[in-house]
Amino acid sequence: MDSTRETGGPATARIAGRGRHREPCAVRCYCATRYTEPVFTIDVDVLVTIPNGEELNPLRGIHEYCEKKGYHAEGATIRVGEWPVQFIPVFSALTQDALENAETVEFEGVPIRVVRAGYLAVIALSTGRSKDHQRILSLLESGNTSRSELCALAEHYGLAATWEKFAKRFLNE
Amino acid sequence: MSEIQTLLERQARWQKERAQLPWPEKIRMIERVRADFEKWIAAVRKGSPGNQDGSPAIPDSSKSNP
């Protein structure tokens, strides 16, 4: 693939899958597109674990690694080929489990870890913007997750009331 | 059934079918839209006349759908 036209997924897998930050995975819109129809997005979000959570700048290692490889910072993101990539340290039990339970898929021959549809939907539920609601509905429609799975996950992560409210508003048929 | 109704139903079917495309193909579709979007942003930032009420044609923050 032309290096100037590389897509965010494989490129990100290459830079983030090394060094101290093992097992990163794509999340949010870029990742959701795997399951749903294409949805416009500006950047790629990548969940990472930070070995030493007490660092003042937890992403310093990733940024230094990227800089060495010629991927430069652009504000809060790193430009990788065509895509700004935002690395997001796991920030809750939900995102930690989403990362740990991510699956590995091939993206144009490059293995990349992606958050499973159920976790994506519950992360969207926790964020709660209107576009997150749309994402949950799209993921359900795709058949890659189900109401019962989302209900169980929501309950597990303390989002039962939020899920009930969502279901009442959007899923009452 | 009106012609418009048929058109809308066809469009809905097409949109749903796009979900079945391979992931890389969907990403390439997004990239094509992004390329146009970025050109538009650059053009607007270069010399936008803005809206008629004097506000910028686009907000500073171009981030969408993270």
ipTM of the assembly? 0.79
The reply to whether A90 and A7 lie within a common domain is: yes
Look at residues A68, A99, A115 and tell me which one is the last residue of a structural domain: A115
Q: What's the whole-number mean pLDDT along residues A56-75?
A: 85
Which of A14-28, A83-97, A149-163 holds the top average pLDDT?
Answer: A149-163
The reply to whether A160 and A88 lie within a common domain is: no
The reply to whether A17 and A78 lie within a common domain is: yes
Tell me if residue A84 falls in helix, strand or coil: strand
Question: Could you list the residue range(s) of the whole structural domain that residue A55 is in?
Answer: 3-115
Identity of the residue numbered A62: I
Per-residue pLDDT tens digits for A99-131: 999 998 888 888 888 899 999 999 999 999 999
C-alpha–C-alpha distance, residues A109 and A1, integer Å: 10
Structure tokens given for A79: 């430009």
C-alpha–C-alpha distance, residues B13 and A103, integer Å: 29
- Burial string for B3-14 (b: 16+ CB within 10 Å, else e) reads eeeeeeeeeeee
Q: Say what percent of chain B tops pLDDT 70.
A: 70
Q: Say what percent of chain A tops pLDDT 70.
A: 84
**Cβ <8 Å between B19 and A36:** yes
Structure tokens given for A115: 């958050």
Torsion angle (degrees, nearest 10) of CA B39, B41, B43, B48: 160
- pTM of the model as a whole: 0.80
Distance from CA of B35 to the nearest CA of A (A): 9
For the domain that residue A91 is a member of, what is the CATH number?
A: 3.30.460
pLDDT at position A50, please? Answer: 80
Give the confidence band of B65 by pLDDT, cuts at 50, 70, 90: very low
The reply to whether A134 and A53 lie within a common domain is: no
Any A CB within 8 A of B37 CB: yes
The total of structural domains in chain A comes to: 2
Give the confidence band of A155 by pLDDT, cuts at 50, 70, 90: very high
Please choose, from the candidates A148, A87, A85, A86, the residue with its C-alpha nearest in 3D space to the C-alpha of residue A122: A148
Top-confidence residue, A157 or A22: A157
Mean pLDDT of chain A: 84
A25's enclosing H/E stretch is strand A25-27
Q: Is A161 exposed, middle or buried (0-12, 13-18, 19+ CB in 10 A)?
A: exposed
Structure tokens given for A2: 């032309």
Identity of the residue numbered A135: R
Contacts of residue A105 in chain B, CB cutoff 8 Å?
23
Q: What's the whole-number mean pLDDT along residues A137-163?
A: 97
Identity of the residue numbered A56: L
The reply to whether A77 and A124 lie within a common domain is: no
Any B CB within 8 A of A6 CB: no
β-bridge partners, A83: A80
pLDDT at position A117, please? Answer: 96
